[in-house]
Amino acid sequence: MNFDTRQTGRSNAVSSILIALVMICLILGVYSYSNQPIEEPPWPKEIPGFAFSPYRSGQTPIEGTSPSAREIDSDLALLAGSTHAIRTYTVGEVFSEIPTLARKYSINMALGGWLGQDTIANQKEVARLAITAAQQPYNVVRVILGNETLLRKDLPVDQLITYLKILQTQTDIPISTAEPWHEWIKYPELAEHVDYLAVHMLPFWEGIALKDSVQYIVDKMNLLKATFPDKPIVIAEVGWPSRGRSIDEAVASSSNQAIFLRQFIDRAEKEGYTYYVMEAFDQPWKSDIEGSIGGHWGVYNIERQHKFEMTQPIIAIPQWKLLATASAVFGLLLFCVLLVDSATLKNRGRAFLSLTAFAIASVLIYIVFDYTQQYHNWLSLTVGVFLLIGVVGVCLVVFAEAHEWAEAMWYRRRRRSIGPKALPAGFLPKVSVHVPAYNEPPDMLIQTLNALASLDYPNFEVLVIDNNTKDEATWKPVERHCALLGARFRFFHVSPLAGFKAGALNFALTHTAPEAEVVAVIDSDYQVLPTWLNHLVAHFEKPSVAVVQAPQDYRDAEESAFKRMAYAEYKGFFHIGMVTRNERNAIIQHGTMTMVRRTALEEAGGWGESTITEDAELGLRLFERGYEAVYLENSYGKGLIPDTFSDYKNSAIAGLMAPCKFCASISAN
């Protein structure tokens, strides 16, 4: 290792360390900035009420698994002193015992009864509700029959009114039914049969932005007061979810939940609202019917732990320091991996790799963290594992692409030449240009041959192999044109001929001039530049070079949006992917604009007729024999892009089946 190399190595190491430090500071800064403490009114010692569903992990009314009286008592003990009342939803089974259990903790009841589509079940529920409300210890202050029954369209409004009338005859306690505010506006006749309006105010479900949500509730409350001036209004549910999908401008998060509730409670106290916070405890079972949002409305999680700060400033992610540290460490490890083969990169290239590594590390760390904050069953865990594997796979692809971009765009020097090379004195090997064709438009193929006739290289021949074209009107004009172009152009019409394109190329190889040292191949739609052979042949002076490849290029990219997109994809591969592969002597040989040393081609057994990717497959066999391949980034010919996606898909099969640069590199070594 000479002095300059050592100096470059030290410089690269220093710059890489500085870049990594900048990225670590950036991650810490972003996490710190996005988790600034937010001051909000503190949660009071006691609120008017909680919506109370005491189901625990693994319990669900869908399957008929209910909490025990002891578990309910434990929940009530936890809420004691923090709420004046609770609101329930049914009096079936153990839930009829809740008033008695709540009385022990001086908690009043808004006793709920469930109504659905089952008439018999509804009648039983109404009867149980009246009996339970009338029993000691007399801490039921209001009754709510039905929960969003009209919203779910379980019952028509007249049937709901009938049940309310029945209940009114059986109790003196104020009764109502719970519906969102707009259902009360939609069915004003319902208000005539209740003692008060039990209203749900859940602006999240309506897609209201957090900043507007509390005022939105105030506006709707004023609307209800104006519409029903003689009816008291109780907010039977008000809340915000801590997790789940966004709805329009409403975003579910733990910090948003805390901000909403603390702002609302402060405003509700000023407005004199009676309300029940939705809800005391997370209910994971609701996710089965409401999506991920449904299970995350609780002030407490399923383990009965507070989900957010009640009095201290609110931080979006309380664990942000841990996440930032993990992201920085993981990002540094990934950056080091990407630097393994980066000696030729400029600092801008290293910075790009650093940004990619730290960004992906941060994303992966956050995904894992976010996933651990959710409630799971065996199915969701299994799906999550497979999704994580998929995400890791995508990240590996991004890493490979990022490395290719960095090497193609920000390099100090090339390891291998990718430019044209002047012909050495006395080096003028004969080139046999092979043009396979099947059922091609004769005018297009004639233009291809005319371009070949204009080559400025003096020592070449052209073999046109038309395989299996049935219509003489298609291939006969090409045959006649070859005769007009002179002796160096030879035309072969062969039918039948097996092996598709590879079969045609192998046929041409048997008719190649004995003195030809190089075989060149182009597709029938390619119009080459006159300098093509002159600029590429010189690379064969080196005996170990078996393939010289120029990029595919196209002359009709502006004809449609589809072709423009296809052209962009082609350019990305040939001006980024192939450039970096050439750095490692690991290019993918392509079946057009390619040149092959004849002796190497024959040594490898010719073109492979057992595969549709005969070009890439031949390249791998040549690498296995220790040969080199050279790629020139310059364009020396232009063809036609497939007209439709179906045609594009068929033409892309070869590219999809071609090996990656690392696989090719392994094969080459």
In one-letter notation, the amino acid at residue 370 is: D
Longest CA–CA span in the chain (Å) reads 115
In one-letter notation, the amino acid at residue 593 is: M
Q: Helices 442-453 & 472-485, crossing angle to 10 degrees?
A: 20
Do 615 and 596 contact (CB within 8 A), yes or no? no
pLDDT per position as a tens digit, 393-437: 998 888 888 888 888 888 777 777 777 888 888 899 999 999 999
Mean pLDDT of 189-205: 98
Do 51 and 280 contact (CB within 8 A), yes or no? yes
pLDDT per position as a tens digit, 323-363: 999 999 999 999 998 888 777 888 898 999 999 999 999 99
Average model confidence (pLDDT) across the chain? 91
Cα separation values, 517 from 529, 598, 601, Å:
21, 5, 10
β-strands 594-597, 545-549: how paired?
A: antiparallel
Mean pLDDT of 98-105: 96
User: Binning pLDDT at 50, 70 and 90, where does residue 648 land?
Assistant: low
Rounded distance between C-alpha atoms, residue 160 and residue 147, angstroms: 11
Beta bridge partners of 179: 199
Under 8 Å CB-to-CB from 643, ≥6 apart: which residues? 563
**pLDDT at residue 649, rounded to an integer:** 62
User: Binning pLDDT at 50, 70 and 90, where does residue 667 land?
Assistant: very low
pLDDT for residue 666 is more than 70: no
In one-letter notation, the amino acid at residue 213 is: S
User: Binning pLDDT at 50, 70 and 90, where does residue 7 land?
Assistant: low
Rounded distance between C-alpha atoms, residue 358 and residue 361, angstroms: 5
Give the 3-state secondary structure of residue 238.
strand
Token duo for residue 480: 């006649």
Rounded distance between C-alpha atoms, residue 15 and residue 350, angstroms: 8
Q: Helices 661-668 & 614-624, crossing angle to 10 degrees?
A: 40
- Give the residue carrying structure tokens 């160096």: 488
pLDDT per position as a tens digit, 374-384: 888 788 888 88
Do 28 and 324 contact (CB within 8 A), yes or no? yes
pLDDT for residue 660 is more than 90: no
- Give the residue carrying structure tokens 């009965």: 304
Find, among 578, 550, 571, the residue nearest to 664 by Cα.
578
Number of Cβ within a 10 Å radius of residue 663: 13
Find, among 434, 507, 432, the residue nearest to 468 by Cα.
507
pLDDT for residue 8 is more than 60: no
Number of Cβ within a 10 Å radius of residue 194: 22
Rounded distance between C-alpha atoms, residue 479 and residue 45, angstroms: 96
User: Binning pLDDT at 50, 70 and 90, where does residue 657 land?
Assistant: very low
pLDDT for residue 6 is more than 80: no
Rounded distance between C-alpha atoms, residue 99 and residue 114, angstroms: 16
Rounded distance between C-alpha atoms, residue 199 and residue 180, angstroms: 5
User: Binning pLDDT at 50, 70 and 90, where does residue 184 land?
Assistant: very high
Beta bridge partners of 478: none
What pTM did the predictor assign? 0.73
Mean pLDDT of 232-258: 96
**pLDDT at residue 661, rounded to an integer:** 35
Do 59 and 68 contact (CB within 8 A), yes or no? no
Q: Domains, the chain, ranges and CATH? A: 3-34+320-409 (no CATH), 47-295 (3.20.20.80), 430-668 (3.90.550.10)
pLDDT for residue 644 is more than 90: no
pLDDT for residue 246 is more than 80: yes
**pLDDT at residue 322, rounded to an integer:** 95
Find, among 492, 519, 518, the residue nearest to 507 by Cα.
492
pLDDT per position as a tens digit, 434-452: 999 999 999 999 999 999 9
Token duo for residue 153: 């369209």
Token duo for residue 380: 């969701």
User: Binning pLDDT at 50, 70 and 90, where does residue 125 land?
Assistant: very high
Under 8 Å CB-to-CB from 633, ≥6 apart: which residues? 418, 419, 551, 574, 575, 578, 579
